[in-house]
Amino acid sequence: DRVALAIKSEEIREKQAQEMAKVLDPTQMEKFNTYVDKNSRKRPRYTNQLLEQIKTETQLSDEQYAMLNAANDAFEKSFNDAHDVYHGNTEMAKEYWNKFDSQRKEALKKAFTPEQHAKYLEIVRDQSFKGKE
């Protein structure tokens, strides 16, 4: 299960960062975090920080926030489930990412007010497929 593995990897990285903070000074810690961030696999979804930003800036109700999380989880699951189809083909992976992202945005359009949806689209405008570098 790719999602469960990714969640576990995030937890391990967080614990690792806590341990490293005990031995590195702030400058070294910044370099360490930059390196780990650049070289770690990322889950293909909105981060928890971005989800909180969306919730706060669009003033989502608890029900709407639950819908946001559900749409985000569905996006991640769909993209990961398609992995065997696009594996090794960055262009195809990007097509799948864009397809599932459009579905996520369309689902949220139904859950948000027009004003909230416009603000949401503004917040996520820079979220795009990130292939291997």
Question: DSSP secondary structure string, 9-49?
Answer: HHHHHHHHHHHHHTTS-HHHHHHHHHHHHHHS---SS--HH
pLDDT digits (tens, 9 = 90+) for 15-26: 999 999 999 999
Is the predicted pLDDT of residue 6 greater than 90, yes or no?
A: no
Location of structure tokens 């864009």: 98
Q: Which pLDDT value is given to residue 75?
A: 96
What's the rounded Cα separation, in Å, for the pair 96 and 104? 12
Q: Which pLDDT value is given to residue 57?
A: 97
Is the predicted pLDDT of residue 62 greater than 80, yes or no?
A: yes
Is the predicted pLDDT of residue 95 greater than 70, yes or no?
A: yes
Q: Which pLDDT value is given to residue 132?
A: 65
Pseudo-torsion of CA 115, 121, 122, 128, nearest 10°? 180
Q: What is the mean pLDDT of the chain?
A: 93
| 29 against 4, higher pLDDT | 29
